[in-house]
Amino acid sequence: MHRDTHSPSSAHSAALPSGGCRDGAAPMLALFNELLDSFQVLFWKEEMELTLVGLQYSGKTTFVNVIASGQFNEDMIPTVGFNMRKITKGNVTIKLWDIGGQPRFRSMWERYCRGVSAIVYMVDAADQEKIEASKNELHNLLDKPQLQGIPVLVLGNKRDLPGALDEKELIEKMNLSAIQDREICCYSISCKEKDNIDITLQWLIQHSKSRRS
């Protein structure tokens, strides 16, 4: 299986099992896709649709605000139901669904993940008491037949806090290596300090639906 070698060294991404990201593209195909991507950047505008899910208080809405405006707000209120926001970065327009993480809203996740360019799964890396529940919810979600093959980006937020899991620990605790039916990537981030937000945006932009098709 081809391992993605395009993640910057500053990403601090851990192995799956030997790199933060994994995809199934053959080397020559990957090279062709890179050339095609470069050509598309010059002439086309890209659109993509993402769904952001994860347990409550993991930092989903904060993440949306940071990538949209660069502003961190300590006093974010948990999302009730869902929010939709459109964000433009360069020549890419991102339609982003932010779905509530409380137990009563988790049955909605699968519905809003259907047909999207990628699923972003947010984890509070500093709240180890909820890691098991977060893992179970992720694997339950990805078991849904309608979501087969959709790329997943797992973000371990709050890396600035003491005791937060690093990428290697997060991959192990979330059992990400067991996910073999799709591309999966894991980054450790801090919305508060804006750590690794840039590489996260790079990954998202590279996964616009038109580029995957």
pLDDT in tens, 99-150: 998 888 899 999 999 999 999 999 999 999 999 999 999 999 999 999 999 9
What does pTM read for this prediction? Answer: 0.77
Pick the CATH number of 9-212 from 1.20.120.80, 1.10.645.10, 3.40.50.300, 3.40.50.150: 3.40.50.300
Binding residues for GTP: 54-61, 101, 157-160
List the chain domain ranges: 9-212
Report CA torsion sign: 11, 62, 64, 55: positive
DSSP single-letter state for residue 195: B
Helix/strand/coil for 171: helix
Q: Which residues are annotated as a binding site for Mg(2+)?
A: 61, 79
pLDDT tier at 210, thresholds 50, 70, 90: very low
Q: Amino acid letter at 56?
A: Q
Residue 74 pLDDT > 70:
no
Is 191's pLDDT higher than 50?
yes
Residues 6 or more apart in contact with residue 145 via CB below 8 angstroms: none
User: From the annotation, which residues make up the binding site?
Assistant: 54-61, 79, 101, 157-160
Grade residue 23 by pLDDT with cuts at 50, 70 and 90: low
Over residues 8-33, the mean pLDDT reads: 53
